[in-house]
Amino acid sequence: MTKIAIFASGSGSNFQAIVEAVNTGNVHASIEMLVCDQPEAYCVTRAKELGVPSLTFRPKDYSSKTAYEEDVLSALRERSVEWIILAGYMRLIGPVLLESYPNRILNIHPSLLPAFPGKDAVGQAMAAGVKVSGVTIHYVDAGMDTGPIIAQEAIMIEDGDDAARVHEKIQQVEHRLYPAIIEKVCN
């Protein structure tokens, strides 16, 4: 069974969707741990409630990004993690992890890349007045949301939709699409 680690920084709704997909047999993987760079984030609470071990690291406690990633890599190797799944992890992955997991790091992004990369993609889409946005799942490279695209699915932004409604529509797609792509790519 494929061993994965999920990286998250926030509430962890995609983390929970992946755990539930594993628990129902829709994703054939073993979730070895949650890695979180924000120890107070709600995803850590979710991990505890779902029985998933979590490791929290504060990058600012390290002398460099390399030192931080070497510590994370050590924890991943201890558990023989084969794939890294980013699920709302708000940090660029650096050379230590990229070189150790070539083409084995996935990310989900709340826009149809290359449109609206980086933070607050929903806010960017709303400010641009687009009528279509969506979800992109891609391999991670050294850039910000620039890796090869694996899958995309659009959502319509309707008159009267606010950012909260658009975010809700995107999460509905994310929670279904990401586990399906993880199953397909990692197995």
CATH number of the domain bearing residue 123: 3.40.50.170
Token pair for 110: 């709340």
What digits encode the pLDDT tens for the residues 38-82?
999 999 999 999 999 999 999 999 999 999 999 999 999 999 999
The predicted pLDDT at position 8 comes to 97
Q: Burial level of 127, CB count in 10 A (0-12/13-18/19+)?
A: exposed
Clarify whether 109 is annotated catalytic: yes
Mean pLDDT across 157-164: 95
What digits encode the pLDDT tens for the residues 79-135?
999 999 999 999 999 999 999 999 999 999 999 999 999 999 999 999 999 999 999
Number of domains the chain contains? 1
Catalytic residue among 28, 109, 138, 167: 109
Q: How many residues does the chain have?
A: 187
The predicted pLDDT at position 187 comes to 84
155 vs 99: CA distance, rounded Å: 34
Token pair for 23: 């628990």
The predicted pLDDT at position 83 comes to 98
Print the domain residue range for 136: 2-186
The predicted pLDDT at position 114 comes to 97
106: left (phi over 0), alpha (psi -120 to 50) or beta: beta
Which neighbouring-strand residues pair with 6?
Answer: 34, 85
